[in-house]
Structure 1
Amino acid sequence: MPKQTFKEKLDSGQFLLGTWSQSASPENLEIIGYAGFDYTIIDTEHGYFGLETAENLVRAAEAANISPLVRVELNAANLVLKALDIGAEGVVVPQITNEQEAAQAISYARYYPDGSRGACPCIRAGKHYVQDWSHYATKANREAIIVLLIEGREGIANIEPILNTPGVNAIMIGPFDLSVSLGVGGQLDHPLVIDFMRDTIALCKSRNIHIFVPNFDLDLEQARAAIDAWADLGATLFTVGTDKLFFAHHMQHIKQSIRGD
């Protein structure tokens, strides 16, 4: 049975669960895939590695049947291009604050005539020119997911213009960042936060735009309750923790359980 692409997963409307890969470990990423996660975001912004390492992490994701996205360091043409060239099914572009930046990120990820992505047939994503490149280019324009990461006050204030940018297919808003921007830092259940998320989810649905909601709560009952609450509002895409966060937490728990300190 052919592997389901990340776009196909998104378009199905099913509940999708992912995490962040911040360690430069193909083995860790394979474990995430074998555990049944739908996708992972390979984090080259906060992970201590670059796209050369990310390429092997993408290979590990493919081997473990999990969709790889790459968070790039900046909204820059060469970084978006290379992340897609190595085979990522999408890119997460940080610090989007307005529609001009949103349009830039989208253009960087699309080949002419839809955008300005540099074209080369001898790239890993296009099977190194062993297969027909024009077929790959058409497929890439149709299927590559560009996740606009809206993290600050300016981006929150410009949410509607950003969503109205032609070609937007996905956004991510961190509830904690949102609470800070709204002046209620850390109060994730504050009415201002809930109302904004509800309104944003509705705006996204009306425009057929996907919205990712990250969660970093190590209390799994609280994490599940928060995710259930966002799902009740209509969100379907969630991340939990990071590989490093889970490893650190479980190692600490094991040590405390064995030594009692």
Structure 2
Amino acid sequence: MRSNPVKKALQRGENAFGTMIFELTSPGLPAILASAGADFALYDMEHSGFDLDEMKRQFSYMRGLDLVPIVRPPGKQYQFVSRLLDLGAMGLMMPMVESAEEARDIVSWTRYPPKGQRGAMFGGAHDDYAGGDIAEKMRIAEDRTIVLAMIETERGVANVDEIMAVDGIDGAHLGQFDLSLSLGIPGQTDSPRINEAIDAMLAACQRHGKFAACMAPTVEIARAWMDRGFTMVSYSYDIGLLANGLADGINTLKG
């Protein structure tokens, strides 16, 4: 079974870069991302029309590439977590985590008994259809899986320290847009209240030895957040990259 170099790098305190995918799932997309230097691709199932079959295809396209598949499930349910892991996801970004209890449930879904409640299916997509020792496969699967708790609500911020204290939660992922809605300041992602929440999240990550992740819409924002302590950075997303790149070129040509 393949290991997860992104998780190992982040645990060493190094940076990892990728982008988020909401719309585009061509067979060539993973190779394009890898050629561009991305370490991971983060697929969003919560706000897109992606289904499990499409995710299985995307994960399979990554075999042989230095690209780690991570996904945000449609919701916080065992059925999504277990099936996405069985299809080959190496990381999960769980939406709107608001308590230590929720975090412990999520971790249990990613661990086989006796550590958790993940159901057993071997010789399939997640272990590359290969044979081998089951106990060793369980160890590798648990070791390589990234579990990110999204901090994107007022309650999540209030409980971020206890969430990051949960064993098996690897890091916190900022959800600045939903957080702005939760705080009653929609779209004001540069508000002092958002910055206070970011400080609280980063402090909790540092206190508990976890890493901090974000989706930065611009290079300038990404650099500023990295200076504050973020090490896992999704640079923009597929729709934004295509639309902004095309608009820049066309506007330049028209000018």
SS at match of 1:213: strand
User: Hey, what's the Cα distance between the residues in 2 that align with 1:152 and 1:211?
Assistant: 16
Q: Following superposition of structure 1 onto structure 2, how do residues 85-164 of structure 1 map, counting pairs within 5 Å?
A: 85-164=86-165
Match of 1:19 in 2: 19
Q: 2:157·2:197 contact (CA, 8 Å) conserved in 1?
A: no
Query: Is 1:251 paired with 2:252?
Result: no
- 1:227 corresponds, among 216, 219, 222, to 222
Query: Is 1:242 paired with 2:237?
Result: yes
Q: 1:24·1:47 contact (CA, 8 Å) conserved in 2?
A: no
Aligned residue type for 1:203:
A
User: Hey, what's the Cα distance between the residues in 1 that align with 2:30 and 2:240?
Assistant: 14
Aligned residue type for 1:140:
A
SS at match of 1:26: coil
Shift of 1:63: 3.4
Match of 2:29 in 1: 28
User: Hey, what's the Cα distance between the residues in 1 that align with 2:128 and 2:28?
Assistant: 23
Aligned residue type for 1:19:
T
Match of 2:6 in 1: 6
User: Hey, what's the Cα distance between the residues in 2 that align with 1:125 and 1:30?
Assistant: 19
Aligned residue type for 1:164:
A
Aligned residue type for 1:210:
F
Q: 2:71·2:92 contact (CA, 8 Å) conserved in 1?
A: yes
Write out per-residue CA displacement over residues 170-214 of structure 1, whole angstroms, 9 at most, x where no aligned residue: 221123333443444444343332233123212111211111111
User: Hey, what's the Cα distance between the residues in 2 that align with 1:195 and 1:150?
Assistant: 13
Aligned residue type for 1:224:
V
Q: 1:126·1:133 contact (CA, 8 Å) conserved in 2?
A: no
User: Hey, what's the Cα distance between the residues in 1 that align with 2:34 and 2:60?
Assistant: 12
Match of 1:42 in 2: 43
Aligned residues: 253
Q: 2:108·2:117 contact (CA, 8 Å) conserved in 1?
A: yes
Write out per-residue CA displacement over residues 124-163 of structure 1, whole angstroms, 9 at most, x where no aligned residue: 2123342322211011122211111222222222222222
User: Hey, what's the Cα distance between the residues in 1 that align with 2:224 and 2:246?
Assistant: 29
User: Hey, what's the Cα distance between the residues in 2 that align with 1:71 and 1:114?
Assistant: 23
| Identity fraction in percent | 26
User: Hey, what's the Cα distance between the residues in 2 that align with 1:171 and 1:66?
Assistant: 21
Shift of 1:60: 2.2
User: Hey, what's the Cα distance between the residues in 1 that align with 2:172 and 2:52?
Assistant: 22
Give me the TM-score of the superposition, normalised by structure 1.
0.87
Aligned residue type for 1:211:
A
Q: Which runs of 5+ in 1 are unaligned?
A: 217-222
User: Hey, what's the Cα distance between the residues in 2 that align with 1:187 and 1:4?
Assistant: 35
Which sits farther off after the overlay, 77-86 or 40-49?
40-49
Which sits farther off after the overlay, 169-178 or 78-87?
169-178
Write out per-residue CA displacement over residues 94-118 of structure 1, whole angstroms, 9 at most, x where no aligned residue: 1222222211111111111221111
Query: Is 1:79 paired with 2:80?
Result: yes
SS at match of 2:128: helix
